Structure 1
């Protein structure tokens, strides 16, 4: 039995509060910088209190972008990132579910060889296979397209492995009961396995959405049309402007806006996300 002591409660809360402050302080600085004029930050010292340019800076970032860097409006870049992140997350989950289902419940030649071949691809990150992948995408005419941004990244050995491990824990009695009731393979998958996999799907969706949202190298390689720039690319272009000073208020406003979709996904799916990570019995 754990003994409750008041000083331990205060100490634990103090440590948690300190951790929150350390994590949140850079975000607060970015927000404060996004509310000031560029001249207020020219000295290199960032104020600690918000300024009076909040609506002006955010409206400019969303509406016209940063002309000096050639960046398109943040709203368009956020839309591109949203389409890419959703396509990657949904595509990875759909393909991984079907792959794991086939490996666990179907008996075909070289079944385990197929699984281990998929699993071995974990040792081949995007950076290793990026040149042949780029050549294939270019030959298919998918440069500067949403398909080119998302399709090469939707295969996931990790998600396939996790779903396979979960499917192996499903009791054989469920399979037999479904077969007795006349349920075919697709019916069993849709009515039994998908509802049981709900928390796993939610946890993977959060992780994969953030993975897709934060992609930088692949969009940088295959997009030359600014109308397909993602938000991460836009921030980098704003920082590395030529023959001009970076407009830090607009950069920080763009950074704060770029945080909204991932934070919203995490908050909205927090309960399912935690259950999907820690739940051991279904």
Structure 2
């Protein structure tokens, strides 16, 4: 019985070593084939130095890389079968740490080779499609130049570029319109704030409100006021008066002097107009120009 077990273990060891030797041989062949396949894929890359040379592979001559892909796929399947046989051989006997590590290493090598093959194959397919597209476009251009006309594909490409440029121009116009809208909104809010401040000021100082009323009556009692009334409504007049009054009050630095003047008697109003006659004249001119702009 002891001699039978020894002979079985020797037979298992021999088969294990044979399988490992076969696996190393297939792995070496795969390494060489994958290197050649990667060089073939690099020759399809337009950024490579040898692209476009007479010795570079053409799109139509796909026999070389097709046969190479089939051979690499066959070697990967063979290595997978050897790894499965090695796993069964290791399971029949008591697996040691060395056997387990060697089996794991062979599986890792198979996984790396498979990933490299899939990655190179995907890159090669993309570059082949790119080369086919360039070749077809070049043929269309040559045919168009030879016939003196324009092929439908070139015409469609030009139409597509024109549409893209029009879309970009429309986006720019929309952006400018949005910016203008934002500026107008900010100006509207600014005018609203000015009107609110003037209203609060009129409520705080009743004499200012009376002064604004007299000023509006003065405007409407002359031919200029009649022409203003004919041109537009009361809304424009209110906006013009509000803006001009705000400019009038903000032009003077000594605001407290205004307050002291407003607190005087009504007989001081002529002296008030006399002191600030220049500001009133300038403000009236600004009021006229502002109304004309509106």
> What is the TM-score with the length of structure 2 in the denominator?
0.25
Larger fraction in helix: 2
Larger radius of gyration: 2
